[in-house]
Structure 1
């Protein structure tokens, strides 16, 4: 039975839990080998929080004595390991915030070489916000052996030039793993040359057991850039989708990825040519996937390439047909099938 989508489901926010860490002492993140320092950039750590149950999305909050300087250190395991992609998502969110402030202008956007790495694999952007209580704000991101590290810094004391100059001393305050595989050189994402043709009048195609199995195998992660391989090159679709931006690998004309925030979670949709062949039909069909930090959840194919709002709806209910684990990598992927056997008749 097909289903017609009209509106997006509400996006659930991950629940936070506070990690117990002794004040004044560094905290070690065992999975990444990184240390969350007790003091960073001259500021004391206030707390550490995790947006998962397995420390896959952790951040530490630092404040200056006057409360007017805020530094946040994040590290997380993204569904797609791409510094340009997640930096652009973070920078788009930052631009959305600073554009609401008077006197805002971009001071700097550039690549940099992180500590222990040989390539300019990190990206940063700094803004002057002189028309309000803060002088500057910025974001920086870099790869770390399959993880991503992000720093957000907002200050009432430093100019944009001074904030940009403070980045490397801040990074050098962090205790990094002894062995780091340098990430590939990073470059900012550019707009795509054309706009995708999308539809908000989309129907689900009745899934079969074959659909669930093939989608599970197709979503086994194979592009882990922890070993320094080049990630896919994305462009940002030029259309205005309100709170959403969509990214197309290699300028794809039949699929896209939509970050859900800037901390590694996403929804994606791609043309499923295998499904059409095994189902005995040559009609176009597109597979929606909810990409979490530890698994990809696959939903029934759609008959058209959906708009972002429809994609969010199509990956937000209980109709998943299969799922494949992406964490921990040491145990290998596990595929779970959710289509009853009689659905394949």
Structure 2
């Protein structure tokens, strides 16, 4: 799973189908990043530098999914021994969310690993150069050859996440876990980050979300026309607010605690910020792509009701797609169905065009 095929498998076929609607810049095309094989490589945005050799393994490739180096991974190999370092933009959620998705996807790969036995539960740790336990790590022993064990670690770097996967044919999970501190220490971490936030593994929410039976997609063309623009403005505002200063991590005034909701859908996991009862993040894959569902008072005002609508935004590492709102909190399956329809608006959330809102008139007022 230390390859592009494994990365795309993690997204699920449903996720790939809906994400295929993203603008060309966000498509899941793979390209090689040219770098001297015998020299360290510094990732373009995060400031992390990786060596040419890591724990006795040579770096064999640096590649990216999409463009602008927003989702990059480097592979180290020695025979079937493998370390993969992923660096991707955290445009939604938080480190515990994406760690939990990576854990869940890994534990589902019985076809690759056979019987998976946890030997290190999700645990917070202090990464090199950090002053708090901002990283998360977990390890497993596996039964299916050629691997004997695999370990996963995630470290936040401002708006970026560094994910390290180490799989071994000679070491079980405990043996790899013992090696992981040295592997992480061999990387060159940026030193100009603000104080990191301590991480906490995601747990189940204390109570499940209550979904009404009345949630329907808004259909009124006039309302959709206004909602497309206001939704685009909210996406622009969110991109401005979430964009940290270069080299400085954005630290919230109050740390957010994410929990995992038992709600199910055809793809992804459902996560709630501070156990919110009226919003959630439907997280696809393990690489920062998700659908954000939350109340939108503006749609209620447009519809001349006292009740808010519920906006649905598909957040990619470089783009946001705005979809028609719902009349009430939709179930994850309803969100997935909505994402297969045309988006009302597209807003870049990376680069110099984050003020640009592109409206899709074909998505306004179509019959559903």
TM-score bin (small chain): 0.7 to 0.9
Picking from 250, 268, 283, the partner of 2:274 is 250
1:174 to 183, 187, 203: 187
CA RMSD of aligned residues (A): 2.6
What's the counterpart of residue 331 of structure 2?
307
Aligned-partner SS, 2:300: helix
Cα distance, 1:284 vs structure 2: 4.9
From 18, 23, 46, the equivalent of 2:37 is 23
1:242 and 1:127, CA in 2 relative to 1: closer, same or farther beyond 3 A? farther
- 1:102 is displaced (CA, Å) by 4.5
Check the 8 A contact 2:271/2:280 in 1, yes or no: yes
Determine if contact 1:200/1:310 at 8 Å carries over to the other structure: no
2:117: which partner in 1? Answer: 105
Indicate yes or no: 2:88 matched with 1:76.
yes
Matched, 1:227 2:250: yes
Q: Which has the larger displacement, 183-192 or 78-87? A: 78-87
The structure 1 residue matched to 2:167, chosen from 133, 154, 176, is: 154
Which residue in the other structure is 1:217 paired with? Answer: 233
Residue matched to 1:261: 285
Offset at residue 119 of structure 1 (A): 0.4
C-alpha distance in structure 2 between counterparts of 1:224 and 1:165, whole Å: 36
Would you say how many aligned residue pairs link Structure 1 and Structure 2?
A: 330
Equivalent residue runs for 1:1-345 within 5 Å = 10-11=17-18, 12=20, 14-64=28-78, 66-67=79-80, 69-80=81-92, 82-98=94-110, 101-108=113-120, 109-130=122-143, 132-198=145-211, 202-206=216-220, 207-219=223-235, 220-221=237-238, 222-223=241-242, 226-229=249-252, 231-241=255-265, 243-318=267-342, 320-328=343-351, 331=352, 333-338=354-359
* Deviating more after overlay: 128-137 vs 25-34: 128-137
**Aligned counterparts of 2:50 and 2:31: Cα–Cα separation in 1:** 16
SS at 1:301 equivalent = strand
**1:127 Cα shift?**
0.7
Unaligned runs of 5+ in 2: 1-13, 21-26
- 1:88 offset after TM fit, Å? 0.8
State the distance in 1 between where 2:179 and 2:112 align: 25
Relative to structure 1, the CA distance from residue 212 to residue 239 in structure 2 (aligned partners, 3 Å threshold; closer, same or farther) is closer
What TM-score does the superposition give when structure 2 sets the normalisation length? 0.81
- Is the Cα–Cα contact under 8 Å of residues 215 and 326 in structure 2 kept in the other structure? no
In structure 2, do the counterparts of structure 1 residues 275 and 95 end up closer, same or farther at CA, with 3 Å as the change threshold? same
Mapped partners of 2:261, 2:115: distance in 1 = 28
Taking a change above 3 Å as real, the CA distance of residues 224 and 126 of structure 1, as seen in their structure-2 partners, is: farther
The unaligned stretches of length 5 or more in structure 1 are 1-7
Secondary structure of 1:299 counterpart: strand
Per-residue deviation, 1:103: 4.2
Structure with the larger helix share:
2
Please, what TM-score do these two structures have when normalized by structure 1? Answer: 0.86
